[in-house]
Every structure is written in structure tokens, then in C-alpha cells.
Amino acid sequence: MGQLVYMNGNLVPVEDAKVSVYDHGFLYGDGAFEGIRVYGGRVFKLKEHIDRLYMSCRVLMIPLPDPAESMVQTVLDLVKTNDVGDGYVRITVSRGVGLGLDPRVCKSATIVIMTDKLALYPPEMYKNGLEVVTVSTRVPPAQSIEPRVKSLGKYLCNIQAKIEANRVGAGEGLMLNVEGYVAEATGDNIFLIKSGEIITPPPYAGILAGITRSTVIELARSKGYNVRETMFTLFDVYTADECFLTGTAAEVIPVVRVDARIIGNGIPGQVTLDLMCAFHDLTNGVGTSA
């Protein structure tokens, strides 16, 4: 049986899973989304992802018809139906169907949940580390688009940033906020290790409060590391002992070169390797299934 897609309460074959050309997500990028990882049929941090989606929709004033618990169950059922072993769940919500900016034209949200395989970084990048470049596209200021909301429209900035990184063949693009502080990579959060301490920008730097980020903070603290959320600049990145990125797709990935500066010894550092290992242990053991 082919993949089924959940669309507003119905399961439809992927070929028939179509959204209206009047959908506000298509017309204006008016919506929110989540990307969730499945390990061995277990959905990783599902409740956290659904909670973040509901928070995004609350901020955007997109009412969702069912409580969060029922979306949790819908995702688990779909993962089972589609027989997802190792893969990805993508939830997309838009304000619904309607022409014109006024959100009142949309009567009910469009909710789509699909499963797929995941495009991963090649294993050598985990072994040797990633090269990252700073891009000129900044994360939008919260006065314009709140980066803590995982909104569809906000990702135009991230796509622009990814284009910049791709142009120079870098593994990821590092984005600053409009004040010049380091915010995050196009699809990942950033961490530095400096003088024995782990630092990462706070949410108000203009980042998405990544679920992998908070998982890694928790893991690191439980292993006795000192973790601090603080603003920092490129100076701190270039002079760090170690650097790594975190994200649902990337998990924990070492960074060894930023803007042609070698980070630390130019190989993945001890703290990074320790946290990569701890994170793998966690994904092997934790998750929810139907």
C-alpha cells in the first residue's frame, strides 16, 4: 500500500493529497509547521513538537479544531498505518481557504500530516565535522516576524540563507540577528564550547527554541556540564574550542570550520562527541508509538 496523507480528518493516497489554490498557506505563507523524527517506529519528542505547533497557532490566531492530545494520537496512528520505521513526520497547518489578506475570510484551518524518508547529512560529516559560513540574510526581528513561531512565511529567510550557503558549498549557513549577534543556522541551533562551558543563544536572540536544543541542554546538564544561554558574536564562534549544531534532522553535528576559521583543533571535540553519543543513546531508547 502507498503512503497515506492525513488531510483534515481524512486519510488520502499521496497522489490525491491536494490543497486548494485558494489556501492561505499557498497564497501568503500563512501557517505553521513541524518536522518530527521517527526512530524504529517510535516518534521522538512528539508531545513537545505538538505543543510547539499549538503555541505557534495560538500566536498566529489559527484556531485548531481538536485538542493537542488528539493530534498526538493522529500522528501515532499515521506512523503505524504508513509503517514508518526510520523517517519523518511533517505537519503543516494553514489558516485555511480564502482569498484576500483579511484572516476572517478563512473559516477553518487546513491540517496536513504526512510521513516520508529523511534526507540526512552523510556519515563523513558527523565524523569529520561540518563547514559553516555566515550568510548575509538575517533572522527577522520579532517586531516583524517572531522567529520563535515556526511559521511558514518566516522560512523564506531561511531559504534565502540556504541559497547563500549552497552557493559556496557550505554544509550550513549561520544567521545573525539584526543586531549582529549569532542566532542560529538555517535549520539548526548552534552551541559553542568555550573554557569548559557550553553556551547557546537564548530564544530572544531570534531563534527557534529547538526541541533537539532543549534535549541536548538537558542531557549536557545531567552529565555535569555547565550550560549557559547567552548572546554571543562571531568573535566567540571563531575563538571557540568546539562548535556543534542541533536539529531534528541533523541531531548533533560537529562544526569544524566557520568562515574559513578552524574551530579548536579542526576535528570534532570531546564534549561534542560525548553529547553526540548521549543523544544517540536517547534516540535508541525513547519515543512514542501507537
Binding status of residue 211 toward ligand PMP by CB under 6 A: yes
Nearer Cβ to ligand PMP (140/187) = 187
Give the residue closest to ligand PMP by C-beta: 210
What residues have CB less than 8 Å from 169, skipping those under 6 apart? none
Beta strand 261-262 with 251-258 is antiparallel
Residue 142 Cβ vs ligand PMP, minimum distance, rounded to whole Å: 14
Which region among 100-108, 182-190, 192-200, 278-286 touches ligand PMP (by CB under 6 A)?
Answer: 182-190
Is residue 150 flagged as an active site residue? yes
The only residue of 96, 140, 173, 247 in contact with ligand PMP, by rule CB under 6 A: 247
Contacts 24+ apart (CB under 8 A), 59-63: 59/146, 59/149, 60/30, 60/31, 60/32, 60/95, 60/149, 60/151, 61/103, 62/31, 62/32, 62/93, 62/94, 62/95, 62/109, 63/108, 63/109
Stretch 108-167 residues interacting with ligand PMP (CB under 6 A)? 158
Q: Is 245 a residue that touches ligand PMP (CB under 6 A)?
A: no
Pick the piece of the chain touching ligand PMP (CB under 6 A) from 73-81, 86-94, 193-201, 203-211: 203-211
17 vs 5: CA distance, rounded Å? 6
56 binds ligand PMP (CB under 6 A): no
Q: Residue 107: what are its φ and ψ, rounded to 5°?
A: -90, -30
Q: What b/e sequence results for 73-106 when a residue is b if at least 16 CB atoms lie within 10 Å of its CB, and e otherwise?
A: ebbbebbeebebeebbbebbbbbbbbeeeeeeeb
DSSP for residue 16: G
Using the minimum distance from each CB to ligand PMP, give the nearer residue, 30 or 184: 184
The CB-of-216 to ligand PMP minimum distance in angstroms stands at: 9
**Residue 260 falls in which region: left (phi positive, over 0), alpha (psi -120 to 50) or beta:** left
Shortest Å, Cβ 56 to ligand PMP: 11
The one catalytic residue among 45, 150, 154, 162: 150
Choose the binding region for ligand PMP from 91-99, 122-130, 181-189, 273-281 (rule: CB under 6 A).
181-189
- The smaller minimum CB distance to ligand PMP, of residues 4 and 38, is found at 38
Q: How many CB atoms lie within 10 A of CB 133?
A: 19
Contact in structure between 73 and 103 (CB atoms under 8 Å): no
Interacting residue with ligand PMP among 30, 131, 164, 184 (CB under 6 A):
184
Sole binder of ligand PMP in the list 74, 248, 272, 283 (CB under 6 A): 248
Whole-angstrom distance, CA of residue 200 vs CA of residue 209: 11
Tell me which residues in 35-54 interact with ligand PMP (CB under 6 A).
35
Contacts to ligand PMP by CB under 6 A: 35, 158, 184, 187-189, 208, 210-213, 246-248
Catalytic residues: 150
